[in-house]
Amino acid sequence: MSHPIDDAVFDLINTNDPEAGAILAAEQARQAHTIELIASENHASPAVMHAAGTCFTNKYAEGYPGRRYYGGCAHMDEIETLARERAKKLFNCEYANVQPHSGAQANMGVFMGLLEPGDTFASLVLKDGGHLSHGMHLNFSGKYFNPVHYPLHYNPDHPRHEQIDYEAVRAVCLEHRPKLLLCGYSAYSRTIDFAKFREIADEAGCLLMADIAHIAGLVAAGEHPSPFPHCDVVTSTTHKSLRGPRGGLILTNDEDIFKKTNRALFPGVQGGPLMHIIFAKAVAFGEALRPEFKDYQKRVKANAATLAGALTDLGYRICSGGTDNHLMLVDLTARNPELTGRDAETWLENAGIICNKNGIPDDQRKPMITSGVRLGSPATTTRGFGEAEMKRVASFIDRVLSAGLKGEDALAAETEAVRAEVRALCEQFPMPGAG
Ligand SMILES: *Cc1c(COP(=O)(O)O)cnc(C)c1O
């Protein structure tokens, strides 16, 4: 049923600790038997997962290659250098810091390295696709810095409705004169025009930062335009479309920015780097440098477009009119004004389809209810889903939501029917390591 190493790892853990082993078995079964549509998730390869479970976890390596605070770091230097070199090649830039524990930590490293407390930066209106580390009031970025926000176009008659309003970006920057302009989002389905952002940053005299956490895999494969050479600094996660271990990344072509953000990250923000994760990042970057990865990212985009098209045919509205990347925001109220993101998330999960409720641009409902769901194709594409399977996924979604509108009995019956079909489909397309 699963990869031989997974079996050996499971037996080892289960023999020592049946309580933890039972939870591992349950999660493995959940992932194997459900369709993962969360746009920020993926199925890492067995090589990447097991790389994260090696003896590199035992080692302290505070500092950077060649300048460590501990002995015994020869192989730490080798693996961190390998990860850096591969990251630079993948993203076509001069400098890479592979130590951020996560995407938010990477952003913190940049903010602490390039801004002073109280400095102004500009980012997208958070509820319309930004990330909490782009200025949310409870986050370090909103508490210790001064965010100002630029909007999307909010006019159904506008040809670029729900897409970035570059004129408004320019106006916000000229009015507030931020020290840094931030682009890159968590729920934006359109291509980002980095060259246009560069023009605005030059006009306003500010630094330009791209957070490519979501689209990193597409960028690495040349399936989304690169933020280089336009951006001064680029941050990312490694676990979303890039399909590596859970972690972060800071990239730049500027030696001064590299030095400042390095110092801000360590000793400024983090202590010892997660060397087992850096080892797994190197393995994942190696996978992403292979030709198959480009083919994978092409299929990710094709699958997202197929799902968006099929949902549109069923009466749903894809925000901004479609997708250029791996994700989409679905306006459920176009199908039926009674539908909410909260209900959809719950009903679909019960049927074995995992996604998250998400506000749509200018959503009138509260964040815990919402009018939409965010769907992405990276994980299903990793399993091998193609056009036919994505069309079936759209039909599963509509069957469950339509039944939910009819009432509890209809929903219970359809949930059971769809769950069985989902499970059969998942068995036909096993997740990596479970084949
Ligand atoms: C996911 C995401 C992050 C944060 O990543 P974590 O690893 O969860 O900290 C940062 N920025 C954007 C745009 C994201 O989508």
Please report the atom of ligand 1 found closest to the CA of residue 102: 7
Among protein residues, the one with the nearest Cα to ligand 1's atom 6 is 103
> Hey, which of 40, 237, 238 would you mutate to test ligand 1's pocket, going by the most ligand atoms within 8 Å of its Cβ?
237
Ligand 1 neighbour 42 (Cβ under 6 A): no
DSSP state string for 328-339 = EEEEGGGT-TT-
Q: Choose the catalytic residue: 68, 84, 170, 240.
A: 240
173 pLDDT above the threshold of 90: yes
pLDDT number for residue 3:
67
Q: Give CA–CA dist 117/135, Å, rounded.
A: 13
Q: pLDDT per residue over 84-102, tens digit each?
A: 999 999 999 999 999 999 9
Q: Does 17 qualify as catalytic in the annotation? A: no
Alpha helices in 236-340 (DSSP H): 255-263, 275-288, 291-313
Encoding tokens for residue 98?
Answer: 């592979």
Q: Does 190 qualify as catalytic in the annotation? A: no
Query: Residue 1: pLDDT band by 50, 70, 90 thresholds?
Result: very low
Q: How far is the CA of 425 from the centre of ligand 1 (A)?
A: 30
Provide the pairing of β-strand 35-36 with 353-354.
parallel
Q: Choose the catalytic residue: 211, 324, 363, 414.
A: 211
- The reply to whether 292-427 shares the fold of 55-288 is no
Residue spans of the domains in the chain: they are 55-288, 292-427
Ligand 1 neighbour 327 (Cβ under 6 A): no
Q: Does 60 qualify as catalytic in the annotation? A: yes
- Considering the segment(s) 55-288 as one domain, its CATH architecture is 3-Layer(aba) Sandwich (3.40)
Q: Domain spanning 292-427 has what CATH number?
A: 3.90.1150.10
Query: Residue 433: pLDDT band by 50, 70, 90 thresholds?
Result: confident
Ligand 1 neighbour 184 (Cβ under 6 A): yes
pTM of the model: 0.97
CB 34 within 8 A of CB 350: no
Query: Residue 6: pLDDT band by 50, 70, 90 thresholds?
Result: confident
Q: Does 211 qualify as catalytic in the annotation? A: yes
Q: Does 237 qualify as catalytic in the annotation? A: yes
